């Protein structure tokens, strides 16, 4: 099933927000840690910062990337978004 998206051009450029989440270590010892998750998220954050095209970039890594913190961070941004704004969400972890 195809999903159709409508894209509207706003007369005003919107603000751009990025939430970058990386979880490489886990409480469950059966889940093997990931080697490059943290470095990937940090590198993407640096790239977005250097591009100067984002107004706010937030990183949540490992123990800071709890379910509660992730939901709270995203909700706080969503509550302040305007129709012309962009939210880029990146999540690096196990499938």
**pLDDT for res 10:** 54
Q: What is the mean pLDDT of residues 58-64?
A: 95
String of DSSP letters for 23-49:
----SSTTSPPPSSHHHHHHHHHHHHH
9-46 pLDDT tens trace: 555 679 999 999 999 998 888 999 899 999 999 999 99
Share of the chain above pLDDT 70, in %: 86
Taking the chain, what is the end-to-end CA distance rounded to the nearest angstrom?
A: 22
**pLDDT for res 13:** 78
Given a contact cutoff of 8 angstroms between Cβ atoms, the answer to whether 41 and 59 are in contact is: yes
Confidence of residue 52 (pLDDT cuts 50, 70, 90): confident
């Amino acid at each position: 099933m195809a999903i159709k998206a409508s894209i509207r051009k706003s007369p005003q450029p919107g603000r751009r927000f990025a939430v970058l989440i990386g979880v490489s270590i886990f409480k469950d010892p059966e889940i093997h840690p990931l080697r490059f998750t943290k470095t990937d998220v940090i590198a993407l954050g640096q790239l977005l910062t250097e591009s100067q095209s984002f107004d706010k970039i937030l990183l949540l890594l490992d123990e800071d990337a709890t379910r509660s913190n992730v939901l709270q961070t995203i909700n706080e941004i969503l509550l302040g978004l305007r129709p012309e704004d962009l939210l880029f969400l990146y999540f690096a972890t196990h499938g």
